[in-house]
């Protein structure tokens, strides 16, 4: 990743987008960097990029212009192709001495039939139109004028960029070397850049790192003793937390066992062990289980229990009748009629 935030300054170096053959930065990298900055704060952005993926350049331009704080762009080395669009996000665009800016039409490749190629043409025209409007908004030129500049592939020195309205000022501060890129791919690249690419053998097939960014501030290192003490403290805390969790689990198991024993020990549970187990599984305490049994005892009897009582009455009547023969028949009839009513 070549989107580096240091001391309130954002540095974007390398290609725009995720290329396998080159170091670069993506819109996702810029999102992460901006998340570390107060949105209302001033933000200088140092840009050194040969360009890359057009849609990524548009996304990064949108991220920078959406900030509520002031964003200033300083072009160091080069801002070409998609990177030139990113530069347009600056409230001020400063071209350092020796830097260049290049504006051209987006390009692409298609593999397929004529319909596939037509879709690519349509997409490129849409991108080009959107780019032209951004250049026009910065420079004060019309979108048509900017579109023609894009078709012509124009390269600007610092002063030429200011004169054309694409930059606001220049500086005599020496510019770092342009970002590593094969500038021979551009039709009208300055000879200085093509010679630089040839000298350093920059090509699309070789991975050439972008200029090294300033090192990040080092964190204060701990001594071996301090590190050992910290690890020991963390280990002690971990053991204490584990012991507390284990003790809590054992207490819960013990309380459940005691509750089950109390429920099964009730007088009401004798002969009703299955119901007692049900009371335990539903989370009832021994007192609550006892109240349930009392409630069951007081509940109205069912028809079956009434039928049993009637039969008991019949047996009692039969016993009496055995001692009083004269009333045997009538007693039995009464029992029969009682059973039928039941």
Q: How far is CA 157 from the centre of its chain?
A: 43
The pLDDT of residue 270:
83
Condensed to tens digits (0 to 9), the pLDDT of residues 63-106 reads 999 999 999 999 999 999 999 999 999 999 999 998 999 999 99
Average pLDDT over the chain reads 79
pLDDT band at 235 (very low <50, low <70, confident <90, very high): confident
Residue 303 has pLDDT above 50, yes or no: no
Query: In sequence order, what are the residues at sequence separation of 6 or more whose Cβ sits closer than 8 angstroms to the Cβ of residue 152?
Result: 104
The pLDDT of residue 1:
55
Condensed to tens digits (0 to 9), the pLDDT of residues 8-54 reads 999 999 999 886 566 789 999 999 999 999 999 999 999 999 999 99
- What letter does residue 267 receive in the DSSP assignment? G
Distance CA 342, CA 338 (A): 6
Q: What percent of the chain has pLDDT over 70?
A: 70
Condensed to tens digits (0 to 9), the pLDDT of residues 123-173 reads 999 999 999 999 999 999 999 999 999 999 999 999 999 999 999 999 865
Token pair 């990177």: residue: 83
Q: Is 259 helix (H, G, I), strand (E, B) or coil?
A: helix
Which pairing describes strands 71-80 and 93-97: parallel, antiparallel, or unpaired? parallel
Distance CA 139, CA 146 (A): 9
Condensed to tens digits (0 to 9), the pLDDT of residues 96-117 reads 998 999 999 998 888 989 999 9
Q: At what angle do helices 273-281 and 286-298 cross, to 10 degrees?
A: 130
Higher-pLDDT residue of 110 and 246 is: 110
Residue 6 has pLDDT above 70, yes or no: yes
Cβ(168)–Cβ(139) below 8 Å: no
The pLDDT of residue 341:
46
For CA atoms 105, 108, 113, 118, the dihedral sign is negative
The pLDDT of residue 326:
43
| CATH architecture of the region 3-199 | Alpha-Beta Complex (3.90)
Query: How far are the Cα atoms of 23, 24, 54, 57, 191 from residue 3, in angstroms, in the given order?
Result: 10, 8, 17, 13, 28
Higher-pLDDT residue of 111 and 283 is: 111
Residue 196 has pLDDT above 90, yes or no: no
pLDDT band at 209 (very low <50, low <70, confident <90, very high): very low
Task: For 26-183, list the strands marked E by DSSP.
Answer: 43-49, 71-80, 93-97, 100-103, 154-156, 169-174
């Amino acid at each position: 990743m070549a989107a580096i935030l240091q001391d309130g300054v954002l540095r974007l170096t390398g290609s725009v987008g995720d290329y396998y053959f080159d170091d670069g930065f993506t819109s996702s990298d810029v999102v992460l960097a901006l998340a570390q900055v107060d949105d209302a704060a001033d933000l200088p952005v140092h840009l050194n990029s040969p360009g890359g993926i057009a849609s990524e350049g548009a996304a990064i331009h949108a991220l920078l212009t959406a900030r509520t704080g002031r964003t200033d762009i300083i072009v160091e080395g080069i801002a070409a192709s998609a990177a030139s669009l990113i530069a347009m996000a600056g409230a001020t665009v400063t071209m350092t001495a020796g830097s260049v800016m290049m504006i051209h039409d987006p390009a692409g490749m298609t593999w397929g039939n004529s319909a596939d190629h037509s879709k690519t043409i349509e997409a490129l025209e849409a991108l080009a139109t959107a780019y032209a409007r951004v250049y026009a908004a910065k420079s004060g030129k019309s979108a048509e004028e900017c579109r023609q500049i894009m078709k012509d592939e124009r390269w600007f020195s610092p002063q030429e960029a200011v004169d054309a309205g694409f930059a606001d000022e220049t500086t005599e501060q020496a510019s770092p070397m342009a970002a590593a890129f094969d500038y021979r791919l551009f039709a009208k690249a300055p000879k200085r850049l093509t010679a630089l690419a040839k000298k350093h053998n920059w090509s699309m097939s070789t991975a050439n790192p972008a200029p090294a960014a300033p090192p990040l501030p080092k964190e204060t290192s701990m001594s071996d003793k301090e590190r050992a003490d910290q690890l020991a403290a963390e280990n002690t805390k971990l053991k204490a937390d584990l012991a507390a969790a284990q003790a809590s689990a054992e207490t819960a198991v013990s309380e459940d066992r005691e509750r089950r024993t109390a429920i099964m020990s009730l007088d009401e549970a004798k002969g009703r062990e299955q119901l007692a187990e049900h009371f335990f599984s539903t989370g009832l305490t021994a007192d609550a289980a006892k109240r349930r049994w009392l409630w069951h005892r007081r509940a109205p009897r069912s028809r079956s229990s009434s039928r049993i009582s009637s039969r008991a009455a019949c047996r009692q009547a039969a016993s009496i009748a055995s001692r009083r023969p004269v009333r045997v028949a009538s007693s039995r009839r009464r029992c029969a009629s009682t059973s039928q009513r039941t």
